[in-house]
Amino acid sequence: MKVFDLHCDQGHVFEGWFGSEGDFQNQLARDLIACPVCNSVQVRKGLSAPRLNLGATPVQSAATASESIAPTPAPAAGDDRLRALQAAWLQMSRRIAQQTEDVGAGFADEARRIHRGEVEERGIRGQATPREAMELLDEGIGVLPLALPDGAKETLQ
């Protein structure tokens, strides 16, 4: 199994697992790899450090002239913070998606029905125009604009 650090054109970093380099290239060519944060399919492979399972016994080794050993630089502290923020945002987005019902373009109407007690109160999400959102707020109905990434709305495979 190959684990690659992937980067989208929006600067998000995520991990991808593939059976081989060929599998990665095949999926990339068919736009099957998408950023879980922004859903961009403009993805490139970054530098990844190999994981070597050497067991508990210390191993001594030496490189021959035909081997190439290059140290992988440690990620900068800013990169770690960015990855942590991206992971937290995606986790929170998934939780919101799991705990709410998607009512689509009928969000404003459904929010009013809930507010008036015409239907059972529950958490909903959907689409509303800026005007509809302002009208809901004027009517005393609390709304929060929130852009959920597509990756939050489905289970990762």
Residue 11: predicted pLDDT: 86
Whether 49 shows a pLDDT value over 70: the answer reads no
In 3D, which of 13, 9, 3 has the Cα closest to residue 79? Answer: 13
Same domain (yes/no): 83, 157: yes
Same domain (yes/no): 81, 155: yes
Whether 107 shows a pLDDT value over 90: the answer reads yes
pTM (2 decimals)? 0.49
Residue 2 maps to a domain: yes
Whether 39 shows a pLDDT value over 50: the answer reads yes
Q: Write out the residue range of the structural domain in which residue 3 sits.
A: 1-47
For the segment 60-94, what is each residue's pLDDT rounded down to a tens digit?
333 333 333 334 444 556 677 887 887 888 888 88
Whether 42 shows a pLDDT value over 90: the answer reads yes
Same domain (yes/no): 35, 89: no
Same domain (yes/no): 43, 83: no
* Contact indicator for 146, 123 with CB cutoff of 8 Å: no
**Domains contained in the chain, number:** 2
